[in-house]
Structure 1
Amino acid sequence: MDKLTAFDAFVQSAETGSFVAAGRKLGLSASAVGKAVARLEQRLDARLFHRNTRNMTLTEEGRLFLERCHRIFEEIEAAEAELARSNRTPRGRLRVSLPLVGMLLTPVMAHFMRTWPEVQLDLDFTDRLVDVVEEGFDAVIRTGHPSDSLLMSRHLGRFRLKIVASPNYLAQYGVPLTPDDLHEHHCLHQRSPDTGKLRPWPFVRASGQGKPVLPERMSATAVDPLIELASAGMGIACLPPFAIRDEIADGRLVSILDEWLTGTDQFHVLWPASRQITPRLRAFVDFMAEHLQPQ
């Protein structure tokens, strides 16, 4: 507290231009303000003001220190405001961007809406890499590793993709035992709406081996048609496990080539680091972290 009092005395003196005016704002005598600044200079081993009988001006060290003090007090005010808001009921519009696969998270979203009925969700489903700040999103949910330093992030869960087909398809065309066997099968691919390229299937390959040849029976930018077509026996697809949990549970799809798959993907929720987190955003982030467990 002594340090903060000294910092406040310094800031007020710098902004008002005198110890007398600073003292009036702080409810202290000019002498007390001057002594606080002097002790601060002694502790910092730096002169913060040029002083004479008529005026006082900041030294270069004082100017730099004033900028830092402003940031310190802004952080304190932000922390106080955040704590004060934390006791308020989350309400208002929350604009969130999700990948197309995020459509399969609607049960979680419905649970959130029942828990926080005063929050109005505005959901934008796209695999385009949106600009969170410029496009005015409160948060985004993304797969993969977050790399934007302007965004705060929280990990929501990991998942490993699965290669699946219907029992009828496998009975008709046979069960592929290695990734190379897929060149004789009907492969259903997901295509990136941004690049137009097919999403790769994450197979383990021995050193020196190239990627397996995967025929393109059809492709789609969303996973929903891939699930339906694979369940209907039209081919083999590579899909996230939480998207096909029901289909696998009731036997419409079966998992194959599990031992050849590598790597995991993950969900993160991200939001602008430059903004103070609102009660509705805090509620959303905490809720998703608690209830979204892809695997």
Structure 2
Amino acid sequence: MDLNATRMFVAVVKAGSLSTAASRLGMPLPTLSRRIRDLERQLKVQLLERSARGTKLTDAGARLYEQANRGIEALLEAEQAVVSDQARLKGRLRLSLPQTFQPWWDLIAAFQRSYPGVQVYVYSTERRMDLVEDGIDVALRVGAIVHETMVARHVLSYRNILVASPKLVERFGMPAEPDALHRFPCAVWASRVDAAVRWELGSHVVEPQAVLSTNDYHHLCSRALGGDVVTELPPFLAAAPIREKRLVPLLAQYPLPEWSINLVYPPHRHPSTIVRTYLDFCHDYLPKIVHACDVGA
């Protein structure tokens, strides 16, 4: 049985006439009349007696109305319950973040303070996850988007900063050009043990002789602050130590490449209210993240 046509039939009975029901439903009268006749043909029974004064239920129509109206009311109650739950934002939000992406920790904390009914699961990894297979609602991705079937919402761009401690600069001197880095002990971010690392500094490429390779920017920051190495750091890790003069930016005239940051999620026709609210919250929170990444702030 055509459920949409059944809902239209119930609407006609409640309205008392086809024309009134068509007006309330916002559809042409001929279309509504045709859908009711199709339903009658499908059920092989007359449901309505039509006259100039309106419509009247047949015995079969009365039986169908009694049962269908109860079912439709139950469906509406269920729909309202779902909408109400979504409006209160009670549920679970599953996120994927790059490791050590600290600004987003503060964002998630602020989001949960605003929406305490949302339980957040965060999976931190450098691995490119399959959002559908791994059950992730929204992923924060650094770099190019390789999954063309996913929806990507650009949020910001930034460049890593080459830094060293004042103590290390005093020891080795301030480098004036990229090749001068060869005389410094360097630490690099690497995704694999055997990964070859190159620093693209403007149009210059340097292959540092790394005394340390790690996929943990917090580790690199610690070693730089300790006066051990030159390294590259995301601006949200470098900004505060630079302002406090515990780190010194190097070779600012030779900037590292720009990274694009995107929120990525599966292309559902109707993302949940929780996901939509989270995406909007991220957009509104961005000025605070940009400020955190501002070395001169």
1:233/1:23 CA distance change after superposition, 3 Å: farther
Could you tell me which residue of structure 2 aligns to residue 175 of structure 1? 174
Q: Distance in 2 between matches of 1:163 and 1:25?
A: 81
1:23/1:99 CA distance change after superposition, 3 Å: farther
1:245-288 CA-partner distances (Å, limit 9, x unpaired) = 21112111111111111542121111111363112211211111
> Shift of the alpha carbon at 1:180?
0.9
| Correspondence for 1:259 among 228, 235, 253 | 253
> Shift of the alpha carbon at 1:25?
11
> Shift of the alpha carbon at 1:146?
2.1
1:139-189 CA-partner distances (Å, limit 9, x unpaired) = 100111323222112111111111111111100111111111111111110
Letter in 2 for 1:232: G
1:24/1:242 CA distance change after superposition, 3 Å: farther
1:19/1:283 CA distance change after superposition, 3 Å: same
After TM superposition, list the pairs within 5 Å mapping 1:63-74 onto structure 2.
none
Q: Distance in 2 between matches of 1:274 and 1:232?
A: 48
Contact 2:161 2:256 in 1 (8 A): no
Letter in 1 for 2:239: R
> Shift of the alpha carbon at 1:234?
0.7
Letter in 2 for 1:267: I
Q: Distance in 2 between matches of 1:7 and 1:102?
A: 56
Q: Does 1:20 find its partner at 2:41?
A: yes
| Structure 2: gaps spanning 5 or more residues | 1-25, 51-78
Q: Distance in 1 between matches of 2:230 and 2:115?
A: 40
> Shift of the alpha carbon at 1:290?
1.7
> Shift of the alpha carbon at 1:89?
1.8
Q: Higher relative contact order at CA 8 Å, sep ≥6: structure 1 or structure 2?
A: 1
Could you tell me which residue of structure 1 aligns to residue 201 of structure 2? 203
1:201-255 CA-partner distances (Å, limit 9, x unpaired) = 231226xxxx323111101111000001001101111111112221112111111
1:114/1:21 CA distance change after superposition, 3 Å: same
> Shift of the alpha carbon at 1:104?
4.6
Greater Cα offset, 95-104 or 162-171? 95-104
Could you tell me which residue of structure 2 aligns to residue 44 of structure 1? none
1:261/1:20 CA distance change after superposition, 3 Å: same
CA RMSD of aligned residues (A): 3.4
Q: Distance in 2 between matches of 1:97 and 1:234?
A: 32
Q: Distance in 2 between matches of 1:25 and 1:273?
A: 44
Q: Distance in 2 between matches of 1:97 and 1:170?
A: 37
| Structure 1: gaps spanning 5 or more residues | 30-79
1:244/1:23 CA distance change after superposition, 3 Å: farther
Q: Distance in 1 between matches of 2:208 and 2:105?
A: 31
Q: Does 1:276 find its partner at 2:270?
A: yes
Contact 1:188 1:217 in 2 (8 A): yes
1:281/1:4 CA distance change after superposition, 3 Å: farther
Q: Distance in 2 between matches of 1:91 and 1:142?
A: 26
1:21-56 CA-partner distances (Å, limit 9, x unpaired) = 399899899xxxxxxxxxxxxxxxxxxxxxxxxxxx
Q: Distance in 2 between matches of 1:202 and 1:25?
A: 78
Give percent identity, aligned residues only: 26
Could you tell me which residue of structure 2 aligns to residue 150 of structure 1? 149
1:278/1:173 CA distance change after superposition, 3 Å: same
1:27/1:174 CA distance change after superposition, 3 Å: farther
After TM superposition, list the pairs within 5 Å mapping 1:23-62 onto structure 2.
none
Contact 1:104 1:243 in 2 (8 A): no
Could you tell me which residue of structure 1 aligns to residue 125 of structure 2? 126
Shift >2 Å, 4+ stretches: 1-10, 18-29, 83-87, 198-202, 292-295
Q: SS at 1:258's partner residue? A: coil
Contact 1:97 1:126 in 2 (8 A): yes
Q: Distance in 2 between matches of 1:192 and 1:184?
A: 24
Could you tell me which residue of structure 2 aligns to residue 221 of structure 1? 215
Could you tell me which residue of structure 1 aligns to residue 97 of structure 2? 98
